[in-house]
Amino acid sequence: MAKWQELIEEAKSVVSGKTLDAVFPPFLFVFSNSFFGLNTAVGIALFSAVLLGVLRLIRKENWLYAVGGFLGVGFASGFAYVTDSAANYFIPTVISSAALVFVAFATLVIGKPLAAWVSHLTRGWPLEWFWRSDVKAAYREVTWLWLLFFLFRLIVHVVLLIDGNALALVWVNTILGWPGIVTVLVISYIYGIWRLRQLGGPGVDEFIAGKEAPWKGQTRGF
């Protein structure tokens, strides 16, 4: 029970209420395009982003989410409007997936895996701990998982984009968006903790305190 509660807390820290911003505008865009045309769909999608932003501000949530959501929808809508193709609404998603594939692969090549950088930036743990041989392997393997996920998402999006299937794109974007990312992150967390224990290195607190082996290892957080 405690482990499930831990996983739920970790998932909540990742999602942070951003799922609606990522899912609602694309669905509304494709639905509106089917009935009212591209120009109206662009306007409705932008209005929905503004509305979500206002709701966030009223609820005193981070205003950066509101701005980020609006810019994301505006960027995507701009692609669709300029190219006169509803399917091109998802070009920014293709670009972001390609960028993540490149970054993940590049960090693996240089031996500084992306998963370690993400954990360092979100948790503030010392970088020196991540680069230990009895720690880094776990983050390298998780980074490979991320690379394969984003590569798969990229391939699916490109195929559907070439086909011009906007409805399929919105469904794929929804499934492989936050739901897919959260699923991958939960798997990463479970595997990462298990792998760190297998490697037998010190936990972060033990590393910071300068404790000598034998170590208890990392028991929570990845």
Domain-located, residue 217: no
pLDDT at residue 10 tops 60: no
Domain-located, residue 215: no
pLDDT at residue 211 tops 80: yes
Q: Which of 63, 64, 69 is nearest to 47 (CA)?
A: 69
Mean pLDDT, the chain, as a whole number? Answer: 80
Across 89-108, average pLDDT: 89
Domain-located, residue 214: no
- Please indicate, yes or no, whether the overall pTM of this predicted structure exceeds 0.85: no
pLDDT at residue 154 tops 80: yes
- What domain count does the chain have? 1
Q: Alpha-carbon distance 146 to 148, whole Å?
A: 5
How many Å is the Cα radius of gyration of the chain? 20
Domain-located, residue 174: yes
SS3 category, 15: helix
pLDDT tens, residue by residue, 66-75? 666 666 677 6
Cβ burial 103-120 (10 Å sphere, 16+ → b, else e): bbbebbeeebbbbbbbbe
- What's the pLDDT score for residue 18? 52
The structure tokens listed for 1 are 């029970």
Domain-located, residue 205: yes
Q: Alpha-carbon distance 53 to 51, whole Å?
A: 5
Domain region containing 33: 2-209
Domain-located, residue 22: yes
Domain-located, residue 220: no
Domain-located, residue 221: no
- The dihedral through the CA atoms of 79, 80, 83, 85 has a sign that is positive
pLDDT at residue 65 tops 70: no
- What's the pLDDT score for residue 83? 63
pLDDT at residue 7 tops 60: no
The structure tokens listed for 217 are 């290892």
- Is-contact 222 119, C-beta < 8 A? yes
pLDDT tens, residue by residue, 160-174? 888 887 778 878 877
- What's the pLDDT score for residue 4? 58
With a CB cutoff of 8 Å and minimum separation 6, the contacts of 127 are: 116, 120
Q: What is the 3-state secondary structure (H, E, C) of 192-214?
A: HHHHHHHHCCCCHHHHHHCCCCC
